[in-house]
Amino acid sequence: MDKYIIYDEETQTYSMDPEQAVRDDVEKHHWLNTIKTIIKDWRLYLMLVPMLFVFFCWRYLPMYELLGAFKYSNSSLDVADQQYVGFYYFARLINGDVSPDFWAAFRNTFLLSFYGMCFGFPMPIIVALFFNEIKSNILRSTFQVMTYLPKFMSTVVMTTLTIMLLKQSDLVSEMGVVSNFMVKLGLISEDVGASGLLNGPQYFRAIYQITGIWEGAGYDSIVYFAAIIAISPTSYEAAQIDGAGKMAQMRYVVLPCILSTVVIMLINRIGSLLSIGYEKVLLLTENSTSYTVYQTAEVVSTWAYKQGMATSGEGGEPGLASAAEMMNNLTGMILVIGANTIARKATDVSLY
């Protein structure tokens, strides 16, 4: 405060620094100016209102319900009335009576994502590289139309078709078409076909990945394909003159050009490493005749669904489910921010 006050030795009086008066004035009018700008431009701010309302009510208000993860949930449905129990549910998840189930689900979630990264992630890149090889426009767009289509079908339709095509039966002739075909080729034994591919825990991960590729590989290739066709033909010509074969062109021309796209998509992937959607897994396994499939098919979100919603009213624990999902989602968020930071440092490419 002292430095804003000037002491005049001649008159022996104190006076205020004139610049400070201006500063104070600006400070006082800062909020006033903001409000004035908003009022002048009120139409623009009014346009924001519906969007803010929707996101606030149905994306941010649920976060308030997350308090339920720290409260004893069986006493009342309303979060405000519940008793605080601190990290009781988290402690039970990490080290307690439900932890074997939870950690199994956690492991399954991670493994499903990890295999998705190994098989599902490179697939669209390969598809895009191959699309680029096809010079005939008609043929290429035919292939594109065919491979993009499954993306627009609902999960219900996709899983219903999967269930029907892999249908189990004691008779080979009554199995689903794909099961039947695989038995005839000798890929699976008749016993496996009879008990159902979707009932065997050892097949679930493969089925999940293959249906994932069926659903998404074509459509996801759009992004890579756009990056590849943006490469100037002169780059290829220069490489050819230098004697580069097809593989060398891939390595030294195409790969560096699409690297930034790949990195961005990889960050996205890492961010969703722990968010395996419940819908597809539930739909694939819900009417399975054997419970053994859940050894590999139970993921965190389906586990939380069964804990918190499917059994609500009959001993389900919404608090436990909230805690499980919260842990999962927070880890996911840390992963995406971490991956983003590393990518920015290492390659100068980042998503945010």
Partner 1 sequence: MKRKLEISELIFKIIAYTFLGIFSICCLYPFVYAISASISGKQAVDYNQVILLPKDIQFDAFSKMFGNNMFWNAYTNTLFLTIFGTIWALFVAILGGYALSKKRLLFRKGFNFFLVFTMWFSAGMVPQYLNYLATAEAFESIGIMDRKWLIVIAMGMAAMNVILLRNAFEGVPSEIEEASIVDGATELQILTKVYIPMSKSTIATVALFFAISRWNGYFWAKQMLLGQYSNEQPLQVFIRNQLDLYMDSDYMASWNEPYSHYSELYALIVCAIIPILIIYPFIQKYFAKGVNMGGVKE
Biggest CA pair distance of the chain: 112
Nearer to partner 1, 112 or 326 (CB): 326
Count CB-CB contacts under 10 A for residue 341. 13
Q: In angstroms, what is the minimal distance from the CB of 111 to partner 1? A: 21
Query: 């800062």: which residue's tokens?
Result: 30
Residues 6+ apart with CB under 8 A from 314: none
| Min dist. Cβ of residue 328 to partner 1 (A) | 8
Any idea how long the chain is? 352
Would you say 85 or 264 has its CB closer to partner 1?
264
- 12 vs 47, beta carbon nearer partner 1: 47
User: Rounded to 5 degrees, what are φ and ψ at 351?
Assistant: -85, -40
Q: 120 to each of 6, 88, 141, 142, 303, how far by Cα in Å?
A: 71, 38, 22, 22, 24
Nearest distance, CB of residue 23 and partner 1, angstroms: 21
* Least Cβ distance, residue 108 to partner 1 (angstroms): 17
> Please, which residue, 85 or 223, has the CB nearer to partner 1?
223
Q: In angstroms, rounded to a whole number, what is the distance separating the alpha carbons of residues 197 and 204?
A: 8
Other Cβ atoms less than 10 A from the Cβ of 33: the count is 10
DSSP string, 253-282: IIHHHHHHHHHHHHHHHHHTTT---HHHHH
In whole angstroms, give the CA distance from residue 45 to residue 297: 47
The CB-of-152 to partner 1 minimum distance in angstroms stands at 5
The CB-of-175 to partner 1 minimum distance in angstroms stands at 7
d(CA 220, CA 261): 12
Our CB check for partner 1 shows the closer of 135 and 345 to be 135
Q: How far is the CB of 154 from partner 1 (least distance, A)?
A: 3
Considering the complex, state which of residue 10 and residue 78 has its C-beta at the smaller distance from partner 1. 78
Considering the complex, state which of residue 64 and residue 87 has its C-beta at the smaller distance from partner 1: 64
Q: How far is the CB of 199 from partner 1 (least distance, A)?
A: 12
Rg for the chain (alpha carbons), in Å?
A: 29
Closest CA to 207 of 289, 324, 309, 285: 285
Q: CA-CA distance, 17 to 32, in Å (whole number)? A: 24
| Euclidean distance between CA atoms 126 and 326, whole angstroms | 35
Nearer to partner 1, 7 or 64 (CB): 64
